[in-house]
Amino acid sequence: MDRAEKQQLVTTLTEVFKTTSVVVVAHYSGLTVAQMSKLRRQMKQNGATVKVAKNRLAKIALEGSDVAHVAPLLKGPTIIAYSSDPVAAPKIAVEFAKANEKFVILGGAMGKTALNADGVKALATMPSLDELRAKLVGLVQAPATKLAQLSTAPAAKLARVFGAYAAKDEAA
């Protein structure tokens, strides 16, 4: 890697650290190429990205960003996963770590908040942004359907009462 490529990588990582909402750092030593490809594919499908970068260059890119406190985690063979959705990257990383014991989550950051491994796992249990939106739409629609049912219910009850009187008169 020549100097221009290193500068380009640092510039790219700096932009990533400034724009993403969550960063997860993990050790990946011992994973096969197929396992790494599977991780990258899963991350991409969920709107997250995985980056393997030299720790020294990643630390340079971290300087001055909100997630600069993850720099001490960058020791050994580390991988950086990030996403704009605060739940996507942690969720995939935790699921992948459960299936692959050689993938060890070290910690991460969500904005200016530092996360240890347990914090990343807790973040992974939260519903994603799309799931939250679906719940919100469901909550907004529920009262409207209840109101519609309430407005038609008295008429239906009245019709049943008239039907019962009509049936009673016919029987007599």
Rounded to an integer, the average pLDDT of 74-100 is 90
- Confidence band of 172 (pLDDT split at 50, 70, 90): low
Instruction: Please give the structure tokens belonging to residue 165.
Output: 């009187």
Q: How far is CA 52 from CA 24, 25, 60, 77, in A?
A: 12, 10, 15, 8
pLDDT value at residue 17: 85
Q: Which residue has the higher pLDDT, 90 or 130?
A: 90
Rounded to an integer, the average pLDDT of 123-133 is 79
Rounded to an integer, the average pLDDT of 112-132 is 83
Rounded to an integer, the average pLDDT of 143-161 is 68
Task: Enter the DSSP assignment of 72.
Answer: G
pLDDT value at residue 148: 66
pLDDT at 87 over 80: yes
Percent of the chain with pLDDT over 70: 90
Averaged pLDDT score across all residues of the chain: 84
Residue 18 amino acid letter = K
pLDDT digits (tens, 9 = 90+) for 49-68: 998 888 898 888 888 888 88
pLDDT digits (tens, 9 = 90+) for 1-47: 788 888 888 888 888 888 888 899 999 988 899 999 999 999 999 88
* CATH 3.30.70.1730 correct for 3-126: yes
Spatial contact of 16 and 9, defined as CB atoms under 8 Å apart: no
